[in-house]
Chains A and B, each alone.
Chain A
């Protein structure tokens, strides 16, 4: 009888605690998320100069590199398949930075509506594959690089 009481006591306390945490987390939703995607940025109309993180995919064929006064300036477009945001970043891009791959950039919008990044991080997707497999898939034209990454960005 006492065992049963202890069992019920524990189960109900876990349920209550879980519910409480769930409520807190959903209230904090906005601060727990790491980045905003282009659609949210366009919808929210973020003010120039306000610091935040932008996340999405680097649009294919959008990367331009210019050397201005000895510094490397990178320009690219971040997309979520719906809206796009133009980004400029002065500095070295991480190894995994690729067109069609996920990226998270920190910075703010300037008055021209371009996102000026102070830090650019590459996001890796959950797919691991041997180089040879990709090469043969490419040969047969069956490999679409950003297929899987797109589903994640779209789900956020």
Chain B
């Protein structure tokens, strides 16, 4: 495992895989959008408006996937002191926050025409908003604490505390009565959506996921480069910056 934690090795491997991952992302988006906007039929109740789900569900999924990834990476960084794991967790922070914001925006654009309101303080919407603030707090820890080791430790603690909220998001629609409907995809008795609608949704989720990996790789590379820049500046005689 330590072999992969070597930043130089990561740079080499990630540069090798990057064109493939980026290529698959483009392909999935093309196919996904074609399915979402052309192939998938209109819903029997919501007409075409339900197509908002093809961006809303992937965004909400990535918001939670990103947080799960931060939690795993932070735990690995905290317990085994992998330098790369901390960098990965740090890199995901702003991306996860952006997807959370997107899920909230597209959700409210869907809520207005269908429910009759942009926003309601039900358990699902509120816990999703809390996730956004947890992300902001997580980003703030890395921004404000200069010492890398200390920042990594505190960020890992924040990540663990926030993990409880992600579990609440998932089960909020089952534990309490909410305006938001229960899950259609990740449920014990199989999805309540089928055919081309399901295909479109899965393609878009896959596209968002590969997009996420593409930009996370760039962001981790950036963080590794910046550590090297910092040490070179010190070598050059205490240069500031």
Contact = CB atoms under 8 A, between A and B. Distances in A.
Tell me if chains A and B make direct contact, with any CB pair below 8 A: yes
Interface of A: 3, 6-7, 10, 13-14, 17-18, 21, 25, 29, 32-35, 37, 55, 93-98, 101, 104, 119-134, 148, 152, 156
20 contacts: A17-B161, A25-B175, A33-B176, A34-B121, A96-B45, A104-B179, A121-B115, A122-B115, A123-B181, A124-B114, A124-B115, A124-B181, A125-B181, A126-B182, A128-B43, A129-B43, A129-B193, A130-B41, A130-B42, A133-B44
Nearest to B42: A131
Contacts of B167: 18
Interface string B116-155: 1100111100000000000000000000000000000000
B207 interface: no
B1 interface: no
A55 B177 contact: yes
A119 B177 CA distance: 18
B160 interface: yes
Contacts of B187: 126
Interface in B140-198: 160-161, 163-164, 167-168, 175-179, 181-184, 187, 192-197
B132 to A, nearest CB: 18
Interface in B42-82: 42-46, 50, 53, 75, 78-80
Main secondary structure of the interface of A (DSSP, over half): mixed
A14 B163 contact: yes
A98 B45 contact: yes
B19 interface: no
A152 B197 contact: no
Contacts of A130: 41-44, 195-197
Contacts, number: 114
Interface of B: 41-46, 50, 53, 75, 78-80, 113-117, 120-123, 160-161, 163-164, 167-168, 175-179, 181-184, 187, 192-197
B193 to A, nearest CB: 4
Nearest to A7: B79
A132 B40 CA distance: 12
- Which 8 pairs of residues, A with B, have the shortest CB-CB distance? A94-B116, A130-B41, A128-B193, A134-B44, A156-B177, A34-B122, A126-B184, A131-B44
B101 to A, nearest CB: 23
Given A94-B114, A124-B115, A148-B192, A13 B44 contact: no
B179 A123 contact: yes
Contacts of B44: 129-131, 133-134
A18 B164 contact: yes
B20 to A, nearest CB: 33
B22 to A, nearest CB: 31
A32 B123 contact: yes
B61 to A, nearest CB: 15
A128 to B, nearest CB: 4
Given A98-B45, A126-B192, A32 B176 contact: yes
Given A34-B123, A130-B195, A124 B46 contact: yes
Nearest to B157: A13
Contacts of B79: 3, 6-7, 10
B43 A35 contact: no
A34 B195 contact: no
B46 to A, nearest CB: 7
Nearest to A8: B79
A17 B176 contact: no
A121 B179 contact: yes
Contact of B183 (A3, A96, A126): A126
B198 to A, nearest CB: 9
